[in-house]
Amino acid sequence: MLIGLALAKLRVKVKYLYFILLGSSAICFGVGVGAACLAILGFEDVGGNIYAVLLKYSPVFCVLALGFTYIMDRIIVFIQQDVLSLTTIDQINFYQVLYALLSGAALIVYLFMTPDLVRTSSLFILTIGSFVYGLKTKIT
C-alpha cells in the first residue's frame, strides 16, 4: 500500500519518473509471470538460456508487459481517486505507455549491463538525490 501511495504521488508530481518505474516494474512482472505460466503449461525450454527464451517467447512477454502496465496504472489511478481524493487525473495514452516500457527497459538494461562499481555508485547517487529532492520539495 505504501508503494502504491508513493507511486500515486509520483504520478502527480514527476510524471516521467513515474513512467520509468511503471515500465520497468511492468516488464519485470510480465517476464516473471510469463515465464512462470510457460513453465506451468509445460514448455520445457523455459528454464534454459534466458536470452533464447526472451527471444523465442517475446510476443507473450510483450502482451503481458502491456497488460501489467495497464493494470498497474489503473491501480495507481484508483489510489489517487479514492485514497488521496485527487480530482484532476489525466489518463495515459498509448505513446506514454510506449515511453514507459522503453524507458523501463533502458533502466533494466542499464542495471544488468553495467559493472558493479558503476551500478552501485549510480544507485547510491540516485538514492541520495531522491532524498535531497524530497526534502527540498517538503521544505519549500
- Tell me the pTM: 0.66
User: Whose CA is closest to 25, among 91, 87, 107, 138?
Assistant: 107
CB atoms within 10 A of CB 108: 16
pLDDT at residue 88 in the model: 62
pLDDT at residue 1 in the model: 64
pLDDT in tens, 18-60: 788 888 888 888 888 888 888 888 777 776 677 777 788 888 8
CA-CA-CA-CA torsion sign (45, 49, 55, 58): positive
| Position 82 pLDDT exceeds 70 | yes
140 pLDDT band (50/70/90 cuts)? low
pLDDT in tens, 88-138: 667 777 787 788 888 888 887 787 788 888 888 888 887 888 777 777 776
- Rg over alpha carbons for the chain, rounded to the nearest Å, is 17
